[in-house]
Structure 1
Amino acid sequence: MPKALPVIDMSAPVCCAPVAAGPVDDDTALSIALRLKAIADPVRVKLMSLLLTSAAGESNGGELAAAVGLAESTVSHHLGQLRKAGLVESERRGMNTYHRARRDALAALCLVLDPNCCG
């Protein structure tokens, strides 16, 4: 049986020195790895792409499910993983939940991986 990773708060963007600045400690490595693990799925990459390119800056679960060709419950699961990683935020409005990418969290993750990527 695989070993379960510890649960850590990933709601805030990752904040640490770039991995290229020197060896990272265990907590920092875990924080970065959990965020990368959350996005390391083709459906989640596609969902992030849809959210980042949405003209309205957000989409509801039904729109996203139709766009990726999956059940709304499956898309909801994937969005939950992205939300736990702090990469997506969601807001309930009436019968719908609207989701938007957290660009600050994505930019922070990019900068931690490569400080020259976004500058």
Structure 2
Amino acid sequence: MVQYTTACLDASFAALSDATRRGVLEQLGRADASITDLAEKFHMTLTGMKKHVGVLERAGLVITEKVGRVRTCKLGLRALEEEAGWIDRYRQLWDARFDELDKVVEELKRKEKVDGRNKS
């Protein structure tokens, strides 16, 4: 289970690490598109776009279907819930750390005010 989750997260974050692939997901969020249309939109070769779509497809983020000579892409069935949960755990950790930092800063400000009054 842990290895599957780790492999799934690795594939997702690797797929999302590229700006073009994030753009493809954004575009497919609006409407399905052929690989040819995506290649034109992103000003790249058909081969280059096929590689990007392949990475997204292996991560489960995109599904392709070939009808005749046209391969159409649409968003995959994965909702990135595991990835969002992983990010949220770190967000909570950092929120707690920043809350502690805020307390230290407020204490230092309070001490600075008190010390400033004592010198006057």
Q: How does the TM-score come out when normalised to structure 2? A: 0.64
Counterpart pick for 1:112 among 82, 85, 96? 85
1:64 lines up with 2:38 in the alignment: yes
Question: In the TM superposition, what are the counterparts of 1:9-88 in structure 2 within 5 Å?
Answer: 25-54=2-31, 58-88=32-62
Deviations 1:30-73 (A, max 9, x none): 3212211112101101111111112xxx1001110111110111
Structure 2 gap segments, 5+ residues each: 90-120
Letter in 2 for 1:69: H
Instruction: Give the % identical residues.
Output: 19
Deviations 1:68-96 (A, max 9, x none): 11011100110001001111000000110
Q: How does the TM-score come out when normalised to structure 1? A: 0.65
Cα distance change, pair 27–101 in 1 and its aligned pair in 2 (3 A): closer
Aligned residue in 2 for 1:97: 71
Cα distance, 1:26 vs structure 2: 5.0
Structure 1 gap segments, 5+ residues each: 1-15, 17-24
Cα distance, 1:29 vs structure 2: 2.7
- The structure whose residues are more often helix, as a share, is 2
RMSD: 2.0
If you compute each CA radius of gyration, which structure gives the higher value, 1 or 2?
A: 2
The count of residues paired between Structure 1 and Structure 2 equals 88
Contact between 2:11 and 2:58, CA under 8 Å: does it hold in 1? no
